[in-house]
Each structure stands twice: as structure tokens, then as C-alpha cells.
Structure 1
Amino acid sequence: MRALRPLLFWTHLVSGVVAGAVVLIMSVTGVLLTYQKQMTLWADLRGVEAGPPTPGAVRLAPDSLLAIVLARGGKAPTTVVWRNGAEMPVEVQFGREGRQYLSAYTGEVVGTGSVAMRKVFSVATEWHRYLAMKDDDRATGKAITGWSNMAFLVLVLTGMILWWPRKLTWSAVRSVLLFRRGLTGKARDFNWHNVIGIWSAVPLALVVASATVISFPWASDLVYQAVGEAPPPRSPEGAAGAAAGTATGTATGTATGTATGTATGTATGTRPAPAPTPLVGDVYAVAAERMPDWRAMSLAWPKAADAPLVYTIDRGMGGEPTKRATLTLSRRGEPTTWQPFDSLTTGRQVRNIMRFTHTGEVLGFWGQTLAGIVSLGASVLVVTGLLLSLRRLLAWRRRAARVDASATVSA
């Protein structure tokens, strides 16, 4: 270990210096995105009155409500989301053209979502994923963040080893395990870097490692290969759906409508309605029968009049794959497939868990909170690490200057 330690140290230092700025951007934006889904839904529904207009009012049949939508705008939605609760409106998404929140009782438009909140999170996401690069440069931005994330994983893993004191005494362990008061400069940065690093090491390693399946197709394929499965075929549309991490692991390339109402697929714009009066059946009864404690159910709008209806039923917060299932119905209302999480292949289960480990959502609200905290800690780690590296560089230059001065005097 004594011989290996210098190699690990310089690997750690060089990785931090090279990728530090990008890692800092991803960490800060990661903190901003911690509660994106909850905050977006809160902003969308703030001030929206969608409860029963009169005591005892009955919700419109879903077919009737959607017929009103088609008659009003003449265009089919991309996704429809129903949420459990008498006060909850029905969300109808129109791809990039926005969304409408409708009263489930009258079909009246009661809200159109918060443009400002979505803009904030859109900008944060652009920086987090692509360093705000646009159009054709996005691929470059994604490659930079992806490989910087890999460098960050190296930092976390080598840091866990470098943290280990050379002399295993309580005094030595305490100095890097607990915050110390009254420190300034290099001593403070060293203390903060070690304490935050060791306490956040395990969850941070999981958050960073799981990001590789989002950044690199080969990493996603490796998940399937590791459990002895062939990776699913990838197509241009399929890649977009896989990146969104749908519950079934199949890529549809359309917006899937998670429980928070954020669009997770590709926006296809205006499409003709499959039929004048769409047959979607009694979605409330469907959800109650299959998942009594459901919180949200979304329908990816069928592209043809005879296409099956694919519902995603969710009893979680939108990012908990173990609490989500997919139900496919024929246009006659007959169930054809029911896919809860435990019916998926091992590869798809692991892939979906890893996708939402990155955001912490796999563990619900507290997992999100933990991911946000370690992202904040990662920001401090980058800053303190860069300051320590800068101090090391300045000290090296001072020593070099003294050696040159001594050599000049001797001459």
C-alpha cells in the first residue's frame, strides 16, 4: 500500500484538476434538480381549482373528457395523465406545444402549467447533461459530462483509499472523520475534503456509477450482459426512450407521462387524432383493479385507431420503478399484458434501478434528499480539492524558485 499510495494520489489529483470544473457544474445543477418533479407539479397546480363543482358531482367518463379535448383543439395529445384524488385535474400533454390541466368533472381547462418553473429546470438540465451546448454540439457536451463523470468515479474510489490514515490511531482517524473548529486555509480545506468525502463516499459512488448507464450505451448494454442477457435492440427512437428510463425498459420514444407529469419521451408535435371518439375505457376502474393504491396513471397516445392502449400505473412518486407497472389493453378493453416490476427480466430490473439510483428516486423522497445532500457535498469536495491542488502548485513553485536562487548564489 505504501508503494501504491503515490500512484493513487496522483491519479486522484490529476483526475480532479482535469474534470473538476465540469464535475462542479454537474454537482451544483444536481442539487438544483433534487426535487424537480415535486416542485414542477406544485408550481403547475398552485392555485388550480379542480375539485367537484357541486357536492356529489361525478367525474366525466374518460372517453367523454378526451372527446372534448379533441373537439376543442382538433389535435391529439401525446400523453394523458390521470391522478388519484377528487381534487386532482387530468393532465393532457401536447409534446413541445405544452400541456393543459382539465377538470375531471367538466373538461374545462383549469391550468396550463408553470412556464417559469419548467424554464428554470430546463436550463439546469441543459447544463447538467450537455453543458448548455445546443443542437449538433449536444453530443459533444454529453461526451464531456459523461467522461467527466467517469473521472469523478475514479476520484471517489481513490479517495476512499487515500482517506485511510497511515497510522490507524483514534487521533489520526478523528482528524479526517470529524469536523474541527478553528481551522483556516489549507488545514480547513483538508479537513472538510476528508470529512465530507468519507461520509458521502458510498452514496456518492452509487450516484456517480449509476450515471454511466445514462451517459454511455455500452454501459447500459453491460448491465444486461452482466446478468447473462442480450441488450435490447437500440434504434433512434429507442435510445430516447431508454434514456428516459421507462418502467418496462422498452423504448417507445414518446412521452410516457410519469407520476409527476413531466414529459420523459420525445415530443412529436401535432398528430391527427386516431379516432373522433377515442376508446380509452374506464381508466379509474382499470387502475383500482390492478393497483388499488395507485397515485397516477398515464396513457401514451396511440398512433393508430386500432393500436393497443399502453398504460403506466404508478403508486410511487414517479421515479420508483418497483412501484410502477405497465398494462396493455386492446381497443375493445381486453387486457393483453400486465407487467409489474417483478415480471421484468433481471437485466431490465437492474437497468431501471440504476437509472433512478442516479437521482435517488429509487428510494423515494428520502433517496432524493440523500442524493441532493451528497451532490452538495460533491460541490464542496471539488472546491476544496482544487484549492488544495492550487496550494500544492504554489508551494512547488516557491520551492523551485528557492532552488534556482540558491543555484544562482552558488554560481
Structure 2
Amino acid sequence: MLTKKPNQSLFRRILFWTHLGVGIATGIVVFVLALTGALLTYEAQIKAAYEPSVAPSVDKAEMLSTDELVAIARPVFSGRTTTLDIYKDSTKPVAVKAGRHDYKLLDPYTGQFIATETNPSEGFFEFVEDLHRSLAGGRNSVGADIAKAANLAFLFLILSGIYLWMPKRWKGYFLKQRILFTKMPTAKARDFNWHHVFAFWMLIPLIAVVGTGVIISYGWANKLVFETAGLDVPMGRGKGGGMWAKSSGSGVSNKPVEELVSFQAIYEKARLVRDDWNSLSIIVPGNEKAKSVDVLIDRGNGKQVALQQQITYSRETGDVIKEQGPDQLATPTQTLKRYIRFLHSGEVYGIIGQTLAGLASVASLFLVWTGLALAWRRLISPLFVKRAKPNRTLLHN
């Protein structure tokens, strides 16, 4: 006697087949996005490991003064807000920056710029990032539109999967096979188990990474988030200045340059503000006779605004004019925009956040693989099963 399968609600059936159809349609692209996302997990650390190091030599035993470094940095990105980043680790070169990709490395002993092309990881990560954002088609390409749509579809799969994940009974075997890796008798049962377990344990990181990807990709999603938060909607991408650079711009002093407090003296003061700083970023004044100079003290990875403070020093007296913590460094809109940007990569929470974002990407690879495998067994495999031919002898009797 055949047993009847329990009736499923119409909503659940519709949601299941929609989930299945969207997964099949976008699975390959989502797999590429997840794979490239996993490769980008520790991009900053890997690139840093390949960055050239600096050290004193017989000819140059001491570093150039901060004033000399500022003078070298000033004309590099003329007309743009530029920072001179000096690291606590003395083996790291000084960086002259005007944005994420606009930077030059400077040897503080010789005053010569170091060719960044020598970093073997630079080209690799540029390619992977381009593949991640636009399937290597470039910004505003068809590939970029496909990548955005696939990311949006993946968010739907995650959210619809929450409902479909729920077991018939919240105990025993039904629950166990959805939250624990279990030895299964068949490949189909194993894929079902893995699909549900990876989704369960990586749900929050997945929503964070994929959801922020949608917000970054689509203007309507960006607008929805900021309006819901009661904030001004950011307009487009900012130009120049780096992610955190913000100059107070206090005007030009009437004093001769030689009478102004040196950048070296200000640097020495700033480095004593905190013992746990990782980098000091001097926002390079456009004019050598600027009345003040801003120094950003960073205790994190350069992308965690909560671990930053900015001090404005008078170049006429050397005194502190203004001190700004994380809340004063940016408007609420800017703070949320930066949080969304670096929540996508996990960097807002440092190495732990990066690791969770990377694990979410790896989990996505398994979700795509097991999802497509289950779809194949449900829709394609039955087509290749040989049906038993009727026994003609019995039919004639």
C-alpha cells in the first residue's frame, strides 16, 4: 500500500519552485561571485605581505624629516586631498594617498618612490575584483548588470530559504539533519544535509555580505536603507580625499614658513597621543604656509572609523585646535555609507569580520553546488531512468 505524502501549503510549493528556478537560473554566476569573494577575503593582508620593506642603509642611516616627506607628497596628487601615511612599523614604506587605488609608496630614507608594480599580488587582485564586480566586463557593462542581478537573486534565495529550511518537526531527526553534518545513506540525502547546514550556520554573515552587496549595487536599495534610517541619501561616489581624509582648511598664515611649527614637531606630538596607534595620516596642506595641519590617528586597519580620531594642530603655536572622535569625523550618512561598504568585506570588524565574510563566501559555493545537484536529481536524472517494459506475454494472456 502506497503512503500519501503530507500536503504542502500552496504558498510553500510556489516558494519552493520559485526558489529552485531562481537558483538554477543564477547558480553559475553566484558561484563565480562566491569564489571571487572567497579569494578577496584576505586581500589587504596578502598585498601587505608582498609590499616592499624599507630599511636604513650605509648612505641613508636616518629617515627624512616629516617636513621633507610632506614636501615630496604635496605635488603628487595636486588638487586632491592627499594624506601622508606613516606607519608604526618602521619597515613599511610611507604611503602618499588620494583614494583607495590612488597611492604611491615612498621610501622615507631615500625620498624615492617605490614602483608598486613589483607587488605580484596587485594585478591578481585587480582581476579578481573586476570579475567579482562585473564578470570582468568593467563598470557599467552587461557583465556588471548580470553580477548585480545575480547578487539580488541570491538575497532572494537566502530569504526564501529561511522559510523552506524550517523542518516539519522542531526536534529529533528532522531538526538534526538541518543543523548538524550527518552521515547520510545516499548522495542526495548528503546534499540535502549540507545545503541546510551551511545555510543555517552562515545565515547572518550571508545576509550581511549579500545584503550590503545589493545596497551598494542598486540606487533604489541604497535610498531605501538611508531613508528608513532617517538620513540623507548619499549622492554618487566621492572624488579624491581617500576614505577618511577630511581637512579643516583653516587658511594661510601671515608668518614666514621658517617661523611656523614644523611638521616633524607636530608628528612627534601626535605619536605620543596614544601608544596603540598603527598609523598616523597627515592630511597634506595645499599651501606650505597653512595655519593648521590635521593628523588622523588610526588604531585599526584603516577602515574602522570607530578606531580613529583626528587632531588639528596650529602651525603657529603647535597647540591643539580641535580634537574629533569617530562621531565628529563624519556625518551619520557618511558613517553608515562606510559601514555598509566595509561590512560587505567584513573589514569593519577587522580580521574576525573578514574571516566570517570569507566563510560566508565558501559556504555559498557549497550552497550553489548542492542546490544544483539536488535540482539535477529532481528534474534531470528521472529522464534517464529506464522504465520497465510491459511483459507482452502477460498482456496477451
User: What is the 5 A alignment of 1:246-285?
Assistant: 251=238, 253-254=239-240, 256=242, 281-282=263-264, 284-285=267-268
For 2:45 and 2:161, the matched residues in 1 are separated by: 33
The aligned counterpart of 2:4 is none
Q: CA deviation at 1:386?
A: 1.3
The aligned counterpart of 1:50 is 55
Question: Which of residues 253, 256, 280 is equivalent to 1:297?
Answer: 280
Q: More deviation in 21-30 or 277-286?
A: 277-286
| Residues paired across the two proteins, number | 363
Q: Do the aligned partners of residues 111 and 214 (structure 1) sit closer, same or farther apart at CA in structure 2, a change above 3 Å counting? A: same
Q: CA deviation at 1:22?
A: 1.6
- Identical amino acids, percent of aligned pairs: 33
For 2:281 and 2:336, the matched residues in 1 are separated by: 23
Q: Do the aligned partners of residues 291 and 347 (structure 1) sit closer, same or farther apart at CA in structure 2, a change above 3 Å counting? A: farther
Question: Are the counterparts in 2 of residues 296 and 314 from structure 1 also a CA contact under 8 Å?
Answer: yes
Unpaired runs of at least 5, structure 1: 241-250, 259-263, 265-275
Question: Which of residues 208, 229, 232 is equivalent to 1:230?
Answer: 232
| Greater gyration radius | 2
For 1:204 and 1:29, the matched residues in 2 are separated by: 15
The aligned counterpart of 1:270 is none
Q: CA deviation at 1:396?
A: 5.9
Matched, 1:100 2:105: yes
Q: CA deviation at 1:146?
A: 2.0
Where 1:228 maps in the other structure, the secondary structure is coil
The aligned counterpart of 2:71 is 67
Q: TM-score, normalised by structure 2?
A: 0.77
CA RMSD of aligned residues (A): 3.8
Q: Do the aligned partners of residues 2 and 337 (structure 1) sit closer, same or farther apart at CA in structure 2, a change above 3 Å counting? A: farther
Q: CA deviation at 1:60?
A: 2.9
Q: CA deviation at 1:139?
A: 4.2
Question: Which of residues 336, 340, 361 is equivalent to 2:325?
Answer: 340
The aligned counterpart of 2:187 is 185
Unpaired runs of at least 5, structure 2: 1-7, 246-256
For 2:44 and 2:230, the matched residues in 1 are separated by: 34
Q: CA deviation at 1:88?
A: 3.3
Q: CA deviation at 1:37?
A: 0.7
The aligned counterpart of 1:244 is none
The aligned counterpart of 2:300 is 316
For 1:331 and 1:125, the matched residues in 2 are separated by: 42
Q: CA deviation at 1:286?
A: 5.4
Q: In the alignment, residue 204 of structure 2 is paired with which amino acid?
A: V
For 1:286 and 1:209, the matched residues in 2 are separated by: 42
For 2:225 and 2:297, the matched residues in 1 are separated by: 25
Q: More deviation in 203-212 or 284-293?
A: 284-293
Q: Do the aligned partners of residues 38 and 168 (structure 1) sit closer, same or farther apart at CA in structure 2, a change above 3 Å counting? A: same
Q: In the alignment, residue 49 of structure 2 is paired with which amino acid?
A: W
Q: Do the aligned partners of residues 65 and 319 (structure 1) sit closer, same or farther apart at CA in structure 2, a change above 3 Å counting? A: closer
Q: Do the aligned partners of residues 8 and 51 (structure 1) sit closer, same or farther apart at CA in structure 2, a change above 3 Å counting? A: farther
Q: CA deviation at 1:368?
A: 0.7
For 2:161 and 2:148, the matched residues in 1 are separated by: 20
For 2:262 and 2:13, the matched residues in 1 are separated by: 64
For 2:312 and 2:22, the matched residues in 1 are separated by: 47
For 1:139 and 1:290, the matched residues in 2 are separated by: 47
